[in-house]
Amino acid sequence: NFPLDLASVEAPSANG
């Protein structure tokens, strides 16, 4: 989803 602070749910944005 968005490079926030959680493991991206849909696709590896930044956190993974």
Note the pLDDT of residue 5. Answer: 64
Give the integer Cα–Cα distance in Å for 10 and 15: 12
Burial class (CB in 10 A: 0-12, 13-18, 19+), 2: exposed
DSSP SS3 for 4: coil
**Helix, strand, coil share (%) of the chain residues, nearest 5:** 0, 0, 100
Q: What is the pTM of this model?
A: 0.05
Q: What is the pLDDT of residues 1-16, one digit of tens each?
A: 566 666 666 666 655 5
Note the pLDDT of residue 7. Answer: 65
Token pair for residue 9? 């749910």
Token pair for residue 11? 């696709």
